[in-house]
Chains A and B, each alone.
Chain A
Amino acid sequence: MLYREAGQFKTSYAADQAMFPIIQDRAFIAMVLIIAYGVVPFWANEYWLQAVIIPFLIFALAAVGLNLLTGYAGQLSLGTGAFMAVGAYATYKITTIYPDINILVVFLMSGLIAAGVGMVFGVPSLRIKGFYLAVATLAAQFFIQWLFNKVGWFFNYNPSGTIIAPPRTVFGVMVAGPEATAQVRYFVALVFLTVGTVIAKNLVRGRVGRAWMAIRDRDIAAEIIGIQPLQTKLLAFGISSFYCGVAGALSVFLWLGSAETEAFDINVSFQVLFMIIIGGLGSILGSILGAAFITLVPIFLTNAPALLNIPFPTDLSKHIEEIIFGGLIILFLIAEPNGMARLWQIGKEKLRRWPFPY
């Protein structure tokens, strides 16, 4: 009864093509945004923002990026960590050479550099497909990690090879560095995620997104109807890597504060891939839900024994956490193999008929 499109007439093309054509959707999204911008930063404490929510936002951004490549364009990538590293190291280099450039602009510049690197490693996708394509992105993963570890120029020749986020202000507000408050960091991350999501959503609804999906579903057929595989695939690699690069820059400057290449190892690539599979391949919303699942559930499980006042030894509770987390993933896939986004859709269908059970 509550969620129905009946009676909502579209009188213009613009209304017909709106991102959220139904008023209930718009209301819901508005509510989420109001909570995210107006409630969370004032309600959550520093632990929550710094250790839980900011990493979630950053991984959500990376997951949106990977979903464009893997979910929409169908190109499997295990190089997310490397592309994030490119973003992070580029930001560090640019901002230490030119400390006066606005750091937010530097994030975007680093995204572009990551996009370039992503396109280079996307070239083999023209010949290699499926699981085998993972080799190209894995080569990127290991090569870039090695490069940033070995070549002193990337970390300004400091003895340990660790990059540290220097203090940076935007319009007089401390954004990066140890003095920046969690609220500010949260806002920056949130703005990047919001803008990134809106752009991604519109990309996949338009010509580019349709070309990606055509390539994903049958690349030869797509070629026959006039989609050029080279441009389309490389564009997917580029845009996806842009998102990952920005996410990597954010993760060093807003979340971790400092990083060595280990922070962007293959596990990060896998983690982001898990997010989009659990969330739903080919769904922007799914990327965000998946990021929430993979980052928030382990933290909940870690804190659960303390909340319930069960004094577990540290190691045992960690192992139980792993077992439960693994079990949840399996259960989830059995319950809904197409991810959380599909569950969301089913929920909406149900709502439409609610409370009548037909």
Chain B
Amino acid sequence: MDLWNVLFVAPFADMIGSPRFLLEVIIGGLLTGVMYSLVALGFVLIFKASGVFNFAQGAMVLFAALTLVGLLEHGVQVLFALAATGIIMVLLAIAIERLILSPLVNQEGIILFMATIGLDFVLRGAGQIAWGSNVKPLDVGIPDKPFEVAGILLNSFDLFAAAIAAVLVTVLAVFFQKTGVGRALRAVADDHQAALSVGIPLRTIWAIVWSVAGIVGLVAGIMWGAKSGVQFSLSLIALKALPVLILGGFTSVPGAIIGGLIIGVGEKIAEIYWAPPFGGAIENWFAYMLALVFLLFRPQGLFGERIIERV
């Protein structure tokens, strides 16, 4: 059987035939997965604390990166520009809380989701009015040199990105677990009303979460923008984060990381070993199929909170 061979024999023979390349694929997949996780983290933070699936996360990534590059182009120093962009993202978060979230408090998830779509349009338009639609090269001084270790090609930029993601996740984990604000955040995530009743300022918490998501968006924007230049397409990477989110669970920070790694490795292996007989470019749907298979066993995502159903 030809199909049998294509599906079950040839790919594995290929893997065993050149283990070094397989290793390279896996490493490549892991490093790509980290990049997906960076985008997915922004979604998770907001979903966790306010139950909103933030459609505008992609636009926030674009907006942050555009602002940073715009400032750099005007001759602002790197560190200063980073700080300024961070402040702008915080201001944006406060504005979002004031103008969108407060009036819609206690509405259903899908309504809030729709509101973030409106926000998405606004941010895309505003970002491009302020900074134009051209490709802007972004160089924040991260070294980008390919080098080989034992015949395996690595790129210093990718490793740097992985390191940044690791730091980011650690900081976020500590922030959530150990600080007072973090505890308040988790309380809000559990139950809005109960949190309010014990005196947790809901609106402040939301502003903080959106600020943190904005800053995570900035980091994602820098890492992705360094590859392609900062341009409108950055806002489309949100789509790449979707299967990661669904797989990892909308409410779990480690889930976003592990999900990203699984999706990254899975889709690269599928694309390289299984796709060629079928004409290639299966990555996009394969990521969803992979997530679907995991979900059939765990309907709430790998690390999602368990769904308890009562009548």
Specify whether A and B are partners.
yes
Query: Number of contacts between A and B (CB, 8 Å)?
Result: 134
A337 B107 Cβ-Cβ under 8 A: yes
* Cβ < 8 Å to B, chain A residues 148-168: 149-150
Asked if A106 is at the interface of the complex by the 8 Å CB criterion, the answer is no
A321 contact set on B, CB distance < 8 A? 125
Distance, CA A96 to CA B296, complexed state (A) = 39
A135 B246 Cβ-Cβ under 8 A: yes
Whole-angstrom distance between the Cβ of A331 and the nearest chain B Cβ? 8
Whole-angstrom distance between the Cβ of B271 and the nearest chain A Cβ? 12
Whole-angstrom distance between the Cβ of B203 and the nearest chain A Cβ? 16
* Cβ < 8 Å to A, chain B residues 149-178: none
Asked if B255 is at the interface of the complex by the 8 Å CB criterion, the answer is no
Do A326 and B120 form a contact, CB below 8 Å, given A131-B250, A224-B311?
Answer: yes
Asked if A277 is at the interface of the complex by the 8 Å CB criterion, the answer is yes
* Cβ < 8 Å to A, chain B residues 82-104: 99-100, 103-104
A320 contact set on B, CB distance < 8 A? 125, 129
B295 A326 Cβ-Cβ under 8 A: no
Distance, CA A334 to CA B288, complexed state (A) = 33
Interface size class of B (residues with CB under 8 A): 35 or more
A318 contact set on B, CB distance < 8 A? 125
Asked if B239 is at the interface of the complex by the 8 Å CB criterion, the answer is yes
A124 B119 Cβ-Cβ under 8 A: no
Distance, CA A138 to CA B122, complexed state (A) = 25
Q: Which residue of A lies closest to B246 (CB)?
A: A135
Find A146's partner among B53, B117, B282, B304 (CB 8 Å cutoff).
Answer: B282
Distance, CA A326 to CA B242, complexed state (A) = 22
A315 B242 Cβ-Cβ under 8 A: no
Distance, CA A132 to CA B113, complexed state (A) = 14
Q: In the complex, how many residues of chain A place their beta carbon closer than 8 angstroms to a beta carbon of chain B?
A: 46
Distance, CA A143 to CA B282, complexed state (A) = 8
Find A132's partner among B109, B246, B311 (CB 8 Å cutoff).
Answer: B246
Distance, CA A318 to CA B125, complexed state (A) = 8
Distance, CA A278 to CA B110, complexed state (A) = 10
Distance, CA A327 to CA B284, complexed state (A) = 32
Asked if A330 is at the interface of the complex by the 8 Å CB criterion, the answer is yes
Most buried by B among A135, A143, A316: A135
Hey, what's the 0/1 contact readout for B125-137 against A, CB within 8 Å counting as 1? Answer: 1101100010000
B291 A329 Cβ-Cβ under 8 A: no
A281 contact set on B, CB distance < 8 A? 110
A319 contact set on B, CB distance < 8 A? 124-126, 128-129
Asked if B260 is at the interface of the complex by the 8 Å CB criterion, the answer is no
A329 B121 Cβ-Cβ under 8 A: yes
Which positions in A face B, CB cutoff 8 Å? 124, 127-129, 131-132, 134-136, 138-139, 141-143, 145-146, 149-150, 218, 220-221, 224, 266, 270, 274, 277-278, 281, 315-316, 318-323, 325-330, 333-334, 337-338
